[in-house]
Structure 1
Amino acid sequence: MNCLTFQEAITASNHYTKRHLLLGNGFSIACRPNIFRYDKLFEQADFSALPIAARNAFVALGSTDFERVIKVIRDAAAVATGYGLTPAQADQMRADADSLKELLVQTIAKSHPERPSDIRDEEYAACQTFLAHFQKTYTLNYDLLLYWTQMHRDDDGDISSDDGFRTSQGDIESGIESDYVVWEAGQSHEQNMWFLHGALHVFDSGTEVQKYTWTRTGVRLIEQTRDALSQNLFPLFVAEGTSAEKLERIRHSDYLAKAYRSFQEIQQCLFIYGHSLAANDEHYLKLIERGKLSHVYVGLFGDPASDANKAIIRRAQAMAIARRTQRQLKVDFFDSGTAKVWG
């Protein structure tokens, strides 16, 4: 199998007029591996308020992957009564899964870099160079790194990034500025940055989708998020265990559902960076299989012959095989390390 360098892949894709990007957790890990790897999040998580069984589930599975453990507990709850457990015990397992989801959000917020200046200018510059190759960027990550990078670019006078959030109509009519901006489907036509599974700074108030901002409050975004968490307000955040559960959550949010449809409609060329093509994101992999893309470049980290990369290669090739329309899907691979996303 031929594994291109990132620049070779970019050059090979230059004949496409539209080139898009899908980011996985490897994007954040490449920036701060001591924060965003699941094993590091597990080390930093405070399980003291959770039943010991929830903590022991990680030990039993030999895993530090929150999403995997949440999935297993939910699956076990679904069959619990058939194996002699009481409905109350099944309900407790579901409650534990929900608590683990909340703990994951809290841990990311607690361990997240405090301020945009914690990322060096040269790191932002390298990331901006990387992102400039793509028309639309979609991320499965919850953290603020992509948003900070785009805003750092805007500070330098480049306003090409658009996350779809605007001053609310109510603020415009009243002349009173809220501490946040809002997202509305009718204002998303030019949007080119999507948080497919939500983000730490995006909240669903029930009547509107709000994005916390620093410019309107002078309070750092991560502090605003922590303050909201202390009031039991949680970000728009998809951490359900299975692909089906994630898709159900997506369909119940205007923002997430529009992000899903936007990804479904992309055409021509897609680069996938920092994602393992794991089954818990199958809802997006299926969109690639059934969609309008002509070419996908998939990033591999490290030895292409490793077990992890072999699994990625198999799933990527299966996407091409599964394409049933006349529009064929071509798949190539590139060495993620050569992208030097953060310099």
Structure 2
Amino acid sequence: MPVILTWGEIQDRFTDSLLLGNGASMAVHADFGYGSLFETARLNGHITPQVAEIFDQFGVNDFELVLRRLWQAKLVIQALEIPPGRVDEAYAEVRNALIATVRDAHVRYEDAEPHLAWIYPFMARFTTVASLNYDLIVYWAAMMGNRDIGRHFKDGFINGVFCEDWQELRQPYRGARGATLFFYPHGNLALTRTQDHGESKIGTQDNGRLLDAILQRWEQGTAVPLFVCEGTSAHKKQSIEGSSYLQRVYREVISSIGPSLVIYGWSLSEQDQHIVNQLRRRPPQRVAVSVRGNDQAFAQRAEEALLQAGIEEVVFFDSASPGCWNNPTP
């Protein structure tokens, strides 16, 4: 039976990388406990019969994929000067359903802010942070940290574009004591695809207005979101291959995680097997996994999966331990 330790007992041995799953977001906002974004939309009444028919025609429940394909078709129609028709209507219906769903499900900055003050010092312990979540919690925490301790956190984007030589950003900026690079292997609300087939990041000076700024860009139709939150592992892997940024994070970041890795709030589900497969390419020597409520069944399953991936040492710690994620330090 795996032993569940406290974060304080192991923290000095784990400083390289942090991988965050949905449990990290749920610790801040319970409404992030979605089975899927599509299911959240359905439960909140945003999947009208017309929208459901559109998803049925594509054969998936993936907002990002359906919206992207409709948007691309819309751009082709505009370029050919074809009169607007069903494609435009379908695009607007799916877009509006996604916007309404995100407004319902996402935590307000004012409600997340007390948690961010504990999250960013925890993140700052690591050289690399990878969040599998589409929400803005990691982004907000990093921006709060940069305000409080200098420009410590970097997401690899300069002037809204991802750097070719992102590894060079590991050097601390002047005035910062260190550097933590953070990435989104499954994309994020703040990332977009643009009309020129590029990929960029949406930013704002006021973090409290960031979600509104993102949704406004979607409403204007000048960009579509870049994130993957639905489907099987194979489907997610296919979506990753369709994005330059996601490909680079998957191939360059996940496979260079370093000697130690902390997993917080990630269930290691079959839907994310592609992440485990990529870790296997250059496995860390030791992994610490958060466990909620002394869940021995999960701990045993996680231990087996990680040992099979070539990791030499797997330890477990209580997800409610003081000092980890959003848990205050005594």
TM interval, shorter chain, is 0.7 to 0.9
Write out per-residue CA displacement over residues 123-171 of structure 1, whole angstroms, 9 at most, x where no aligned residue: 222112221221110000011111001101111242110001112xxxx
Q: What displacement does 1:109 show?
A: 4.2
Q: Tell whether the 8 Å contact from 1:295 to 1:330 is kept in structure 2 after alignment.
A: yes
Which of 144, 151, 164 does residue 143 from structure 2 map onto?
Answer: 151
TM-score normalised by structure 1 residue count: 0.72
Write out per-residue CA displacement over residues 228-280 of structure 1, whole angstroms, 9 at most, x where no aligned residue: 33245421111341111111111221111111121111220000000110011
* Equivalent in the alignment of 1:4: 5
* Equivalent in the alignment of 1:317: 304
CA distance in 2, matches of 1:239, 1:5: 30
* Equivalent in the alignment of 1:269: 260
Q: Aligned ranges for residues 1-343 of structure 1 at < 5 Å?
A: 1-11=2-12, 13=13, 18-33=15-30, 35-38=31-34, 41=40, 43-44=43-44, 46-50=46-50, 92-95=56-59, 97-99=61-63, 105-106=98-99, 107-114=101-108, 116-120=109-113, 122-167=114-159, 181-187=160-166, 189-190=168-169, 192-205=181-194, 206-215=196-205, 220-232=209-221, 233-260=223-250, 261-305=252-296, 310-323=297-310, 329-339=312-322, 340-342=324-326, 343=328
Q: What displacement does 1:284 show?
A: 0.6
Question: Aligned AA for 1:21?
Answer: L
Aligned partner of residue 127 in structure 1, secondary structure: helix
Q: Tell whether the 8 Å contact from 1:26 to 1:275 is kept in structure 2 after alignment.
A: yes
Residues 313 and 166 (structure 1 numbering): CA distance in 2 closer, same or farther, change over 3 Å?
Answer: same
CA distance in 2, matches of 1:31, 1:258: 29
Write out per-residue CA displacement over residues 291-343 of structure 1, whole angstroms, 9 at most, x where no aligned residue: 231001111111323xxxx14532432321342xxxx5211111111155223
Residues 45 and 256 (structure 1 numbering): CA distance in 2 closer, same or farther, change over 3 Å?
Answer: farther
Residues 92 and 113 (structure 1 numbering): CA distance in 2 closer, same or farther, change over 3 Å?
Answer: closer
CA distance in 1, matches of 2:309, 2:139: 34
Write out per-residue CA displacement over residues 56-92 of structure 1, whole angstroms, 9 at most, x where no aligned residue: xxxxxxxxxxxxxxxxxxxxxxxxxxxxxxxxxxx93
Aligned length: 278
TM-score normalised by structure 2 residue count: 0.75
Residues 332 and 96 (structure 1 numbering): CA distance in 2 closer, same or farther, change over 3 Å?
Answer: closer
Q: What displacement does 1:50 show?
A: 4.4
Q: Tell whether the 8 Å contact from 1:50 to 1:96 is kept in structure 2 after alignment.
A: no
> Over the residues paired in the alignment, what is the CA RMSD in angstroms?
2.8
Q: What displacement does 1:45 show?
A: 5.1
* Equivalent in the alignment of 2:90: none
Question: Aligned AA for 1:7?
Answer: G
CA distance in 1, matches of 2:198, 2:163: 8
Question: Aligned AA for 2:279?
Answer: I
Q: Tell whether the 8 Å contact from 1:301 to 1:337 is kept in structure 2 after alignment.
A: yes
Question: Aligned AA for 1:27?
Answer: A
Structure 1 vs Structure 2: percent identity of aligned residues? 28
Q: What displacement does 1:22 show?
A: 0.1
Q: What displacement does 1:99 show?
A: 4.9
Aligned partner of residue 267 in structure 1, secondary structure: coil
Question: Aligned AA for 1:148?
Answer: W
Q: 5+ residue gaps in structure 1?
A: 55-90, 168-180
Aligned partner of residue 280 in structure 1, secondary structure: helix
Residues 183 and 291 (structure 1 numbering): CA distance in 2 closer, same or farther, change over 3 Å?
Answer: same
CA distance in 2, matches of 1:30, 1:98: 25
Question: Aligned AA for 2:8?
Answer: Q
- Deviates most, 23-32 or 240-249: 240-249
Aligned partner of residue 275 in structure 1, secondary structure: coil
Q: What displacement does 1:221 show?
A: 1.6
CA distance in 2, matches of 1:268, 1:223: 39
CA distance in 1, matches of 2:233, 2:207: 38
Question: Aligned AA for 1:182?
Answer: V
